[in-house]
Amino acid sequence: TTRSLSPTSEGIGYYEACVRALAEIEAAQSLLASRRQVPSGRLRVDVPLAFGRRCVAPVLFEISRKFPDLTVEVSFNDRRVDLIEEGIDLAIRMGELDDSLSLAARRLCAQRSAICAAPDYLDRHGRPQSVEDLADHSVIGYG
């Protein structure tokens, strides 16, 4: 109803992942603040589109506001980029980490995925019972 909300388990998981990611960013901010140095220069950040827009962008906006001598350049995309070649200072990634990379990495959170369909679509085309059944359906993939 319009009077109450009941988030799905996926929604709760997504929210909790965002909270943990924000806590990590705030911890980094605190580290800078504890050194009493004012950040300046350019910070290039690469983040996945949806997660970046929803969770990371507001924090980066606040950092930019707090530290006017720091230029934050953000790229929102879901493709894997060569961080060294493209001069990226900080990247947030979803999925398994490539062990061949010689970069410092830290797990922020677990992210769950879901396969979704509109009830009308399922009424017209049937409900898939297995992953293999998806081959017979119109699919829009993301990620």
pTM of this prediction? Answer: 0.58
25: region left, alpha or beta (phi > 0 left; psi from -120 to 50 alpha): alpha
d(CA 83, CA 119) in angstroms, rounded, equals 41
41: region left, alpha or beta (phi > 0 left; psi from -120 to 50 alpha): left
Please determine, for residue 83, whether its predicted confidence score (pLDDT) is greater than 90. no
The residue-averaged pLDDT of 120-135 equals: 89
Share of the chain above pLDDT 70, in %: 92
d(CA 92, CA 134) in angstroms, rounded, equals 30
Per-residue pLDDT, 100: 62
Domains of the chain, first to last: 9-114 (3.40.190)
Q: What is the three-class DSSP state of 26?
A: helix
Per-residue pLDDT, 28: 85
Share of the chain above pLDDT 90, in %: 31
